């Protein structure tokens, strides 16, 4: 018998390395993208319904589109189309991941919706088939599904899992406002052109991979790098002050998360993370303390 409702929990991510190549003819950029899943989660609940329906609650829910432009809705439609069945499901998203924050919240919801619908409908899609649907939906969606840590190449959707040898303590500061991912990539291209720089092909940094594997926060702090940071700061200069406030409060590393405007701070331990969060509070909407790695999409109720 099919369950009456399925709830899936799915994590946010931070990019501990985001190396961005030149713009490709299709408008995307080749990446060397080292993803780390962190313990901030959205929950997606799928319930049988007469017709497709999408609702959303939580901070920033009013900015989440509830039509077919929502990645979670598109995930349900893609799975239903593949299985030749109607997408007769009510998806409810309980948001905790910052909206438009550079933490892959929309991608998380897509991965969560896909696993919730598959668990509800039992279409028989394999994990690889579900990951292929994830890749069609967006560059970050496959990682949201698998969690942990991984190197993403191509536009970020081709994943190789990475070992993580310990717990990393993070603080995430949510900015007042959002940044559009395409706008940040465009600013990246513009900055490179205006500086007359040739953008090299992106390469994964072994120092980042080794630091993850050893669980060494100081080594990871020395190696983290986000090529989109300068572009995000160009579009959202106030983030510089937030980064500085985290560094002054003892963060081992301070960086823009993905395309921003959420900023990420690596801390030595849980106590230091709490100190950094307190210092950041005047500079942001909310400062959240969490740890990594986190698991990918997982069914938490049915
Ligand atoms: O794949 P996704 O829908 O998340 O990408 C959103 C936008 O971010 C793309 O339309 C593109 O402008 C930019 N992007 C990019 N190169 C990537 C990933 C995303 O230029 N590898």
Q: What is the ipTM of this complex?
A: 0.95
Closest C-alpha to ligand 1, atom 3 = 138
CATH: 3.30.70.890, 1.20.120.1690, 3.20.20.140, 3.40.50.150. Which one for 168-292?
3.30.70.890
Write the pLDDT tens digit of every residue in 95-131.
999 988 899 999 999 999 999 999 999 999 999 999 9
Cα gap 161→150, rounded to integer Å: 4
Write the pLDDT tens digit of every residue in 261-276.
999 999 999 999 999 9
Closest C-alpha to ligand 1, atom 19 = 28
Distances, alpha carbon 134 to alpha carbons 43, 93, 111, 208, 253, in Å: 17, 17, 7, 26, 31
Cα gap 242→245, rounded to integer Å: 5
Is CATH 3.30.230.10 what the domain over 6-162 is classified as, yes or no? yes
Q: Is 160 annotated as a binding residue?
A: no
Q: Which two tokens stand for residue 275?
A: 């100190």
140 is catalytic: yes
Whether residue 63 is preceded by a cis peptide bond, meaning omega within 30 degrees of 0, is no
- What band does 205 get if pLDDT is binned at 50, 70 and 90? very high
What ranges in the chain are assigned the alpha helix state H?
A: 71-83, 105-121, 127-137, 141-146, 181-194, 206-214, 217-223, 229-235, 239-248, 270-280
Q: Which two tokens stand for residue 298?
A: 């997982």
Distance of CA 84 to the CA centre of its chain: 30
**Ligand 1 atom with least separation from CA of 186:** 12
In the chain, ranges of CATH 3.30.230.10 domains:
6-162
Measuring CA to CA, which residue among 9, 81, 76 is closest to residue 49?
76
Write down the pLDDT at residue 178: 87
Question: 19: number of CA atoms within 13 Å, CB side?
Answer: 17
Write the pLDDT tens digit of every residue in 210-232.
999 999 999 999 999 999 999 99
Q: Is 86 annotated as a binding residue?
A: no
Write down the pLDDT at residue 2: 74
What ranges in 34-174 are assigned the alpha helix state H?
A: 71-83, 105-121, 127-137, 141-146
């Amino acid at each position: 018998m099919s369950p009456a409702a399925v709830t899936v929990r799915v994590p946010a991510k931070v990019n501990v390395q985001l190396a961005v190549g030149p713009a490709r003819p299709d408008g995307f950029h080749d990446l060397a993208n080292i993803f780390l899943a962190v313990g901030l989660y959205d929950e997606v609940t799928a319930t049988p319904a007469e017709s497709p329906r999408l609702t959303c609650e939580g901070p920033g829910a009013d900015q989440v589109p509830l039509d077919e432009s929502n990645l979670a809705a598109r995930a349900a439609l893609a799975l239903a189309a593949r299985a030749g069945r109607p997408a007769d499901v009510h998806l409810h998203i309980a948001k905790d991941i910052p909206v438009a924050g550079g933490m892959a919240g929309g991608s998380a919801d897509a991965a969560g919706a896909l696993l919730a619908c598959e668990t509800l409908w039992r279409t028989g899609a394999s994990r690889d088939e579900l990951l292929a649907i994830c890749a069609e939906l967006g560059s970050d969606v496959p990682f949201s599904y698998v969690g942990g840590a991984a190197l993403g190449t191509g536009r970020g959707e081709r994943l190789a899992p990475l070992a993580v040898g310990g717990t990393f303590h993070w603080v995430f500061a949510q900015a007042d406002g959002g940044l559009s991912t395409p706008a940040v990539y465009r600013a990246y291209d513009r900055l490179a052109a205006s500086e007359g720089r040739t953008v090299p092909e992106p390469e994964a940094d072994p120092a980042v991979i080794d630091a993850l594997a050893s669980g060494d926060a100081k080594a990871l702090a020395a190696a983290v790098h986000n090529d989109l940071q300068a572009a995000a700061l160009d579009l959202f200069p106030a983030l510089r002050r937030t980064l500085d406030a985290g560094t002054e409060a003892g963060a081992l590393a301070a960086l823009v998360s993905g395309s921003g405007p959420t900023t990420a701070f690596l801390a030595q331990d849980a106590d230091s993370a709490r100190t950094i969060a307190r210092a950041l509070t005047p500079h942001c909407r909310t400062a959240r303390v969490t740890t990594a790695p986190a698991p990918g999409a997982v069914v938490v109720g049915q």
